[in-house]
Amino acid sequence: MEHKIYYWLSASRPRTLVASISPVLLGCAMALRDNVFRLLPASLCVLVALLAQVASNFANDYFDCKKGADTEARLGPLRAVASGRIPARSMLCGALVALCLACLCGLVLLFVAGWELIFVGIGIAVCVLAYSAGPCPLAYNGLGDLCVLLFYGLIPTVFTYYVQALSFSPELWFLSISTGLLSVNILVVNNYRDHDEDRRTGKRTTIVIFGRAFGRCIYIINVSVAILLALPHIIASPLWLATLYAAYTLICFTTWRQMCHTEGQSLNRTLGQTARNVLLFTILTILSLYFRQ
């Protein structure tokens, strides 16, 4: 029983869940600063974000195995279905249950913030499944990066604020793009590591389409653009916080250098550090909302 629980937890990929929670935390922090924070919609946004990503991770585990994308040559952590740890049918059911729970939380948000949000919810649900399922899965056709930018950056950040304030914050749009770009780098490292296997199995990620050199370039470009978009907040920050931003930039550069000089399973460490960098940026940005010169 303990092993089964561990396998399910592992299949949820807990190290990458920071990508879903970070934009929600940023939206909540902005709402708190603007005195429009509401606990119920904020909590529901957290649940929707986490459950939607867990559903997506379970679905990826199932459909990647079915499509033959997970082979014995896999360099990342063992997939639950491909390794036989969890039956394929159980994984598919798990994905659907997590998605249904996310939808239920989203339905409550409709009563809180308005029925127009139903289109956002439908978009999230469709993306969860279309990412790796269907006749033209997004992750297999170079669109995974765009999905991450939208659903782990723009949409959760902006709409977490909206469901509390019932209005949009122009200031938050730029910060949401920053968070999204840094989350894209998690996928970049993942696909950079799996380049050879993805090419053999026909999974056309952006790294397969444009090459590993593209992955190294886009990683540092995403970091640079993210920091540039946050520059107004950095400039307005006190010296101690601006210094922390400078240290953060150095950390990101070090992670990028590690990626450039690492191969195979060692890139799993780089992936974890990239996820950590998303959370660090979120924390610094939240601090910049409250501490200004």
Percent share of the chain, pLDDT over 70:
95
Partner residues linked to 204 by β-bridges:
141
The overall average pLDDT reported for the chain is 89
Q: How confident is the model at residue 188 (pLDDT cuts 50, 70, 90)?
A: very high
Res. 50: pLDDT tops 90: yes
- 75-79, 139-143, 279-283 — which is least confidently predicted? 75-79
Q: How confident is the model at residue 228 (pLDDT cuts 50, 70, 90)?
A: very high
Boundaries of domain holding 218: 2-290
262 backbone φψ class: left, alpha, beta (φ>0; ψ -120 to 50): beta
Percent share of the chain, pLDDT over 90:
60
Res 68: pLDDT: 65
3-state secondary structure of 141: strand
Res. 119: pLDDT tops 80: yes
85 φ, ψ (degrees, to nearest 5): -70, -35
Q: How many CB atoms lie within 10 A of CB 289?
A: 19
289 φ, ψ (degrees, to nearest 5): -70, -25
The dihedral through the CA atoms of 80, 137, 219, 75 has a sign that is positive
* Rounded Cα gap, residues 281 and 233, in angstroms: 12
How many structural domains are present in the chain?
1
Res. 281: pLDDT tops 70: yes
DSSP character string of 105-116: HHHHHHHHH-GG
Res. 186: pLDDT tops 70: yes
Q: pLDDT digits over 59-94, tens only?
A: 888 887 777 655 555 565 667 787 778 888 998 999
Read off the pLDDT of each residue in 216-227 and give the average, rounded to a whole number. Answer: 97
Q: How many CB atoms lie within 10 A of CB 209?
A: 11
Radius of gyration from C-alpha coordinates of the chain: 19
Q: With contact defined as beta carbons under 8 Å apart, do 71 and 203 qualify? A: no
Q: How confident is the model at residue 176 (pLDDT cuts 50, 70, 90)?
A: very high
Q: How many CB atoms lie within 10 A of CB 251?
A: 16
pTM: 0.92
Res. 112: pLDDT tops 70: yes
* Rounded Cα gap, residues 91 and 36, in angstroms: 39
Q: CA torsion, points 261, 266, 272, 275, in degrees to nearest 10?
A: 30
Res 8: pLDDT: 87
DSSP character string of 188-253: HHHHHHTHHHHHHHT-B-HHHHH-HHHHHHHHHHHHHHHHHHTHHHHHTS-HHHHHHHHHHHHHHH
